[in-house]
Amino acid sequence: MKLTALVTPSPETLGPTESTFRVFHHVDDFCAALSAAGVPVTIVEGTLADVPDDGFLLVYRWVDLERHLTPELAPRLVVVAPPGPLWRLLWTSTIAAGINERWYSDWYYGHDDENGYGLLARKDMGDRWGATKIEPGYSTERYAEYAHPGCRHIPELLATYLAALAPLLAQERSEQS
């Protein structure tokens, strides 16, 4: 399985108190945790034109996402975003999964307190990946918030989910061909 993290390009120059998006959002740490969970990640600082046409795509706070979202791209996307834009995206699209930016921060600043929760994933995955829908939790017609007893944190939860989702997406693509 292939996962690419798409990050806003770093500016040419930074002020003395500024950091790049990649550093500020701890992208390398999250990708290292995903790799440790069995999903190697390639980090690309750029635009959609710079990423491969296959595999999953992890995007952070992509302001123009809805404008660039296509039926081919959506099922490959895992979006890390603030709650409002994320909920709107989950109501209107068919992305692979979403991570509330607050839960992402909770993971980074307190790994040990986390219990493998916080992924907004497709409901039709159901029992395919051994997760439990969190009740009460965020839910739409197509998505719900999930936890997994075998996952310690969001990177492990995402890795487990994507491993189960990849064959389903391959099957869906072959049925559409």
Q: What is the model's pLDDT at position 176?
A: 78
Q: What is the model's pLDDT at position 9?
A: 75
Do 123 and 86 contact (CB within 8 A), yes or no? Answer: no
- The amino acid that residue 70 corresponds to is T
As beta bridge partners, residue 139 has: 144
Q: What is the model's pLDDT at position 115?
A: 58
Domain range annotation of the chain = 3-176
Q: How far is CA 170 from CA 128, 136, 166, 173, 175, in A?
A: 15, 32, 6, 5, 9
**When comparing pLDDT for 119 and 18, which is higher?**
119
Residue whose C-alpha is closest to residue 154's, from 23, 58, 42, 21:
58
Tell me the whole-structure pTM to 2 decimals: 0.89
Question: What is the overall mean pLDDT for the chain?
Answer: 85
Q: What is the model's pLDDT at position 175?
A: 85
Instruction: Name the phi and psi angles at 73, rounded to 5.
Output: -80, -40
Measure the CA–CA gap between 147 and 115, rounded to whole angstroms.
8
Q: What is the model's pLDDT at position 160?
A: 95
pLDDT above 70: percentage of residues in the chain: 89
Residue 3 confidence (pLDDT) above 80 = yes
Binning pLDDT at 50, 70 and 90, where does residue 95 land?
very high
pLDDT in tens, 102-132: 888 888 887 555 556 789 999 988 778 989 8
Q: What is the model's pLDDT at position 162?
A: 96
